[in-house]
Chain A
């Protein structure tokens, strides 16, 4: 009979793996030829990417007029997509940095792919502020650099300028963090690999890793420091993104609740995306023993927490609008819930507030098909949240004479699909060429050689 000391002591990795087995399991997908499913997914996502690239090329060649925007609604799909993708990225940093600092060791199975997801999501996000510009070829003007224009600086008061800093910082730190975490695993690849191009690359990037105690010690220290650096970013990036709206005078945007609301929403959506990807990856790559139902459950619990915060924020916004006595503010929220974009608002509420409530039930949390479906719903809901915030606030603001509607053009839809194409293409390539699970870290949480894990069901 099993001796279970505590629930927390349950093994994080199932299947009573040996160290070599872990290496074998994780490296196997990289070393064999991709299967038909991979090819199918890759073809689909790169087709989407191609579609998106064509749309963007056409738009840049013709003008932003090829989007459905108008004088009143100056942002819609573009900035919605931007905030959506930035949000997706947040779970990666949360899992890799914050959970690391809190010694949540269950994170080890998912952190690598979550971080990769962060990087790819930030790439998708970074695309939109550039292409949404009327003259994207001048996008570099939003960086302060010494120039011959007398010297003309940027506007340090503009949240868009802060965005540029926030996003580039975020991307750099995330990339570094991800890379540092990869070093031991790259060394494993180097050591296992057949001589050739891939091995030479792995050797180059593993920076002469020798697995010695000193190397590990330095590595752990660097990783810890980077985690410390990355942690504030989880809060700061989306806070700054929220300022794009909170700093404005437009009712529905001008709200002090935005920073925490956006951060919670970002982590919420990021976790949902992690779930979406993990549930597929563990199945297709045979990693059920590493990404266990327990991992999924924990992520689900985090989703309940952050989803609750988001729901609270929705209510607070309504309360504050009513309480403010500001007629414009009050109208914006009534208009959200009952105006022409009510369908978008209620899609958002049902996906983000109602759907996650199912996760309170263990039965549902452990039913991966349902969790997968819910994670998709949350992704949809979070996209709509940004759409609702941006479009419903803009389309009917102060002067009724300039009220307008909005509907996207095919170019906009193709650009959104293209960003998903970019994301999944990158992720699929990542699954092929790099270890999706941090082998070095997972080995640290194996029950191998420990007594208390024996006989666990």
Chain B
């Protein structure tokens, strides 16, 4: 560049103001026009090359059809959320339904919902698959043949007309119905008949609780249990965290009472006959046989009322008396006498009005076993002319349920061809809950709306519409719900004068809080507490599992493949025995045993369950349903496969015939059973084969210590170090510069092991969100289940009554990820945000990454898992790739959700806020045990939890630097005295 000479000072100043000119870099405005020779040649070369490349092969033909008429306010590819109500069980948790392009693809808990508080259980999560079930009934069935609604309406109208004229009993048998609309419609329908009655029952009955309250308080109500208010919780065989009444609500309340960060630490005693999910969380767990439960409860009652008691009863009473009015005694027994003892204890402690609400009672179980028994007797006697069965499957669920066939006309409203539908003359299928309008009132004064998220996929008609049609006033479900709300619900509340505003608000929120008009309870009338008789030798206890409940979702493969939270068994029910009892009987895990009593018998594989009472054997209900017939061909097809179903062609064995009516309630226990070995074996599909953190004794290096995978502290110790903060990363000398530098985002997760109950809602939530295939029983036996998140369960201590720890385990997104270095093709790489990414397209499937994963959280597609059911494929999340055979996969921290939130934040022009991204597992967790967030963001919840003194990382010593922290379990007392590592 030549020297720039200036002629005058003015010119020099002017020169200096201008930026220096460069010959090579043209400044603005100086870009030469036209491409120039080089540019032209480049462009020509590029276009020639691309034309040539494009001509090489024909692009695969793809058809993307636009909407013929674009729905208003819907942007294709964007998710919309609608508030609704879960209908998977009568607990009626609040839902948010995620829809994409007009189809619901995911259910999540409604965070504002007063009962469920944002959580959703595994069953609720899985219930969306029912919508896309290709084996649902597509229209009404008359006498085994498909018919049209007109034909059915005409024929049944004639028959009902005849009954109206001639008289005769019309019975409507349903599960718990707390929907105001349904109740109104049922009332109007039955009013047409001289002898019309509505009988409600629950297969998982709580009738004894209601009966006991009728006797002690004069009102037949189910109290609303407020676990969040209790400082001492005593459960007598009530699996309230797993299956009892409203587990999501109870788990939310329970875990809010056990937040060490807020110095709240409720003490939980669980006396139970088998190891339930709830028992695994108890601070003190007492294995008692069902027969022994009565005397234990009676002793506790006596002690609480001022008497003296020793031993376990004294201990329980002592704890309860320290927390008068802040304690809660719950009992899962179906013996009204026991329930009255529970009422007496709660009353003596002044818990009514504090932790039990009978003024605004729960309506989640309204069944009346006495009426049910009466109805079954009527049916046996042939006195029922018309029997309508809705929302229930009595033939499958009840002992003597076949009696329904004795009615002159049996109408079922089943969604699927279940046992009752097969026994019915007419099946008038109701649609899936996501296809029709409805409402619910799970607790008095809390009314929720169930709004549809998709137009009905089949020809089903809502139950209320059908009944309305048969009442002579056909109306759409929407109109029926609106009418009820206008006439009944709106007047009950005081906030909104205008119905439309009230309705809109309720629709948006999913629920409305109104007044309720429950009958007033009278003063407590102390019942006579009778001392029960001695204990029988061996008792059979029937119980629901958190996945299968009463078997209403037995069509759902996700729930069958969900490992039981306690036993980790999938795809079967089994006889669980205490290890001591099994040793006496010479029974080992997987032996087929025969359970007999009074002429009844069933054959099931045995499972040795630590912590179970020695005199109890337990069998899960809900299995052996006709709905599980469909799994005969499930799983990859190859020469060495074994079927998912058992010899009967069904999954498991139905234990419901062993239920029995005693003193007006449906009991789960039967005394005097015998168990014998048959000599056959059926190994169970268990996802966990070693159950403690201690290695087998003969292989243990000394000093013999359990592995520090799950860590614990005690309340005393925690109080000492509660305020101490630990650094995010341990201060270690490093030889090398850091491998990765992170930008504004560094994603991390913290799991509170103290809060985690092991309920496994996260497992199903992840399965739905991430399109995880179902592999079938045989593949699980081969240890090839595909769940990206698993909940490890470890026992420690004596086998008669062990302590239990649950540990959700998933990809730890290591900073020094062992998987990343060993992949030969760079199919797993580290992102600038701390994620360990799996590139499915690039993966060739060497499985080296999975071998080198210390946490064994990677999952391999051993086969091309079936995706043949086109309807079921509609549930797939379009944001997540469906993986092909031979490809590795694993947890990605729901990277699709991270991306969605980042794009949205970018559009807004602000950083991603804490709490804006919820991973699927975190969202569903009823205990809110999972925190996810950005470590590089000050004040982010996950970052805060990462500095907690309770935080540790699993296998920290091998320096793979996981991005997942775990918070230690806090125990009230530790067996070893000081801080103890689990094992």
Mark A residues whose CB is within 8 Å of B: 58, 62-66, 68-72, 74-75, 129, 132-136, 138-139, 141-142, 152-155, 157-161, 164, 244, 247-250, 322, 327-328, 330-331, 334-335, 338-339, 394, 396-405, 409-411
Inter-chain contact B851/A135, CB cutoff 8 Å: no
Query: Which B residues lie within 8 Å of A132 (CB)?
Result: 846-847
Inter-chain contact A135/B845, CB cutoff 8 Å: yes
Interface contacts beyond A65-B784, A160-B823: sample of 11 additional A-B pairs, CB < 8 Å, sorted by A? A63-B862, A65-B779, A69-B847, A133-B846, A134-B886, A134-B888, A249-B960, A327-B701, A331-B701, A400-B691, A401-B793
Inter-chain contact B826/A152, CB cutoff 8 Å: yes
Q: Does B690 contact A (CB under 8 A)?
A: yes
Query: Which B residues lie within 8 Å of A339 (CB)?
Result: 696, 699
Inter-chain contact B784/A71, CB cutoff 8 Å: yes
Query: Which A residues lie within 8 Å of B861 (CB)?
Result: 63, 134
* Interface pairs A-B: 9 shortest CB-CB: A134-B845, A134-B886, A65-B862, A330-B701, A401-B792, A74-B847, A402-B856, A70-B783, A160-B824
Q: Does B169 contact A (CB under 8 A)?
A: no
Number of A-B contacts (CB under 8 A): 195
A410 to B823, CA, bound (A): 29
A322 to B701, CA, bound (A): 8
| A403 with B689, Cβ < 8 A, contacts A158-B822, A335-B699 known | yes
Query: Which B residues lie within 8 Å of A327 (CB)?
Result: 701, 705, 707
Q: Does B850 contact A (CB under 8 A)?
A: yes
Q: Does B863 contact A (CB under 8 A)?
A: yes
Query: Which A residues lie within 8 Å of B887 (CB)?
Result: 134-135
Contact of A135 among B809, B844, B858, B862 (CB under 8 A): B844
Q: Does B843 contact A (CB under 8 A)?
A: yes
* CB nearest to B693 among chain A residues: A400
| A399 with B844, Cβ < 8 A, contacts A66-B638, A155-B823, A159-B822 known | no
Inter-chain contact B825/A142, CB cutoff 8 Å: yes
Q: Closest approach, in angstroms, between the C-beta of B662 and any C-beta of chain A?
A: 41
Query: Which A residues lie within 8 Å of B886 (CB)?
Result: 63-64, 133-135
Q: Closest approach, in angstroms, between the C-beta of B388 and any C-beta of chain A?
A: 48
Inter-chain contact A247/B845, CB cutoff 8 Å: no
Contact of A155 among B825, B854, B955 (CB under 8 A): B825
25 CB contacts below 8 A, A to B, read: A63-B862, A63-B863, A64-B847, A74-B847, A133-B845, A141-B842, A154-B825, A155-B821, A155-B822, A155-B823, A155-B824, A157-B822, A160-B823, A160-B824, A250-B852, A398-B707, A399-B709, A399-B854, A400-B693, A402-B855, A403-B690, A405-B783, A409-B640, A410-B639, A411-B640
What is the size, in residues, of chain B's interface with A at 8 Å between Cβ atoms? 66
* CB nearest to A402 among chain B residues: B856
Q: Does B818 contact A (CB under 8 A)?
A: yes
Contact of A68 among B782, B809, B860 (CB under 8 A): B782
Query: Which A residues lie within 8 Å of B696 (CB)?
Result: 339
Inter-chain contact B843/A135, CB cutoff 8 Å: yes
Q: Among residues 585 to 643 in chain B, which have CB atoms less than 8 Å away from a CB atom of chain A?
A: 636, 638-640
Tell which of A58, A155, A334 has the most Cβ of chain B within 10 Å. Answer: A155
A327 to B694, CA, bound (A): 11
Inter-chain contact B707/A400, CB cutoff 8 Å: yes
Query: Which B residues lie within 8 Å of A164 (CB)?
Result: 824
Inter-chain contact A160/B822, CB cutoff 8 Å: yes
| A71 with B856, Cβ < 8 A, contacts A65-B863, A135-B887, A403-B690 known | yes
A248 to B846, CA, bound (A): 14
Q: Closest approach, in angstroms, between the C-beta of B813 and any C-beta of chain A?
A: 16
Q: Closest approach, in angstroms, between the C-beta of B780 and any C-beta of chain A?
A: 10
Query: Which B residues lie within 8 Å of A134 (CB)?
Result: 843-847, 860-861, 885-888
Inter-chain contact B701/A334, CB cutoff 8 Å: yes
A85 to B666, CA, bound (A): 67
A161 to B863, CA, bound (A): 25
A327 to B824, CA, bound (A): 30
Q: Closest approach, in angstroms, between the C-beta of B710 and any C-beta of chain A?
A: 10
Inter-chain contact B826/A154, CB cutoff 8 Å: yes
Contact of B864 among A63, A244, A247, A411 (CB under 8 A): A63
Inter-chain contact A66/B640, CB cutoff 8 Å: yes
Q: Does B700 contact A (CB under 8 A)?
A: yes
Q: Closest approach, in angstroms, between the C-beta of B829 and any C-beta of chain A?
A: 9
Inter-chain contact A400/B690, CB cutoff 8 Å: yes
Query: Which B residues lie within 8 Å of A401 (CB)?
Result: 688, 690, 790, 792-794, 807, 809
* CB nearest to A404 among chain B residues: B783
* CB nearest to B568 among chain A residues: A401
A311 to B855, CA, bound (A): 32
Inter-chain contact A71/B863, CB cutoff 8 Å: no
A133 to B888, CA, bound (A): 11
A244 to B690, CA, bound (A): 28
Q: Closest approach, in angstroms, between the C-beta of A147 and any C-beta of chain B?
A: 11
Q: Does B695 contact A (CB under 8 A)?
A: yes
A152 to B672, CA, bound (A): 70
Q: Closest approach, in angstroms, between the C-beta of B578 and any C-beta of chain A?
A: 22
Q: Does B405 contact A (CB under 8 A)?
A: no
Query: Which A residues lie within 8 Å of B884 (CB)?
Result: 135
Q: Does B722 contact A (CB under 8 A)?
A: no
Query: Which A residues lie within 8 Å of B852 (CB)?
Result: 248-250
Q: Does B785 contact A (CB under 8 A)?
A: yes
Interface string of B822-850 (1 = CB under 8 A from A): 11111000000000000000111111101
Inter-chain contact A249/B958, CB cutoff 8 Å: yes
A401 to B857, CA, bound (A): 11
Query: Which A residues lie within 8 Å of B863 (CB)?
Result: 62-63, 65
Inter-chain contact A141/B689, CB cutoff 8 Å: no
A402 to B791, CA, bound (A): 11
